Structure 1
Amino acid sequence: MASDDQPRDARFEDADDAPVALRALEAADVPVISALVQDAVFPITEMGYDRKARRFAILLNRFRWEERGRGDPQRVQAVLAIEDVLAVATQGIDRADTDTILSLLALEWEPSEDGMGRLTLVLAGDGAVAVDVEALELTLKDVTKPYIAPSGHAPDHGA
Structure 2
Amino acid sequence: MALKLVALDDQDLSIVSAHVQDAVLKVGDLEYLPAAKRFVLTMNRFVWEAKSGVLRQHNERRQAVLHFDRVLGAKTSGIARDRPEEVLSLLAISFVGIDKPAGIVELIFAGGGAIMLDVECIEARLADIGGAWEATSRPVHRA
Question: Shorter-chain TM-score: which interval?
Answer: over 0.9
TM-score (norm 2): 0.94
Deviating above 4 A after TM superposition, structure 1's stretches of 4 or more consecutive aligned residues are: none
TM-score (norm 1): 0.85
Instruction: Name the structure 1 match of 2:9.
Output: 26
- The equivalences for 1:1-159 within 5 A come to 18-69=1-52, 70-149=56-135, 152-159=136-143
Would the aligned equivalents of 2:27 and 2:79 in 1 still touch at CA under 8 Å? Answer: no
SS for the counterpart of 1:65 is: coil
Q: Which structure is larger by alpha-carbon Rg, 1 or 2?
A: 1
How far residue 71 of structure 1 moved from its aligned partner, in angstroms, is 2.5
Percent identity over paired residues: 38
What amino acid does structure 2 have at the position aligned with 1:19?
A
Gaps of 5+ in 2: none
What amino acid does structure 2 have at the position aligned with 1:139?
R
Gaps of 5+ in 1: 1-17
Deviations 1:70-94 (A, max 9, x none): 2210000000100000000000111
How far residue 114 of structure 1 moved from its aligned partner, in angstroms, is 4.0
Higher relative contact order (CA 8 A, sep 6+): 2
Instruction: Name the structure 2 match of 1:3.
Output: none
How far residue 68 of structure 1 moved from its aligned partner, in angstroms, is 3.5
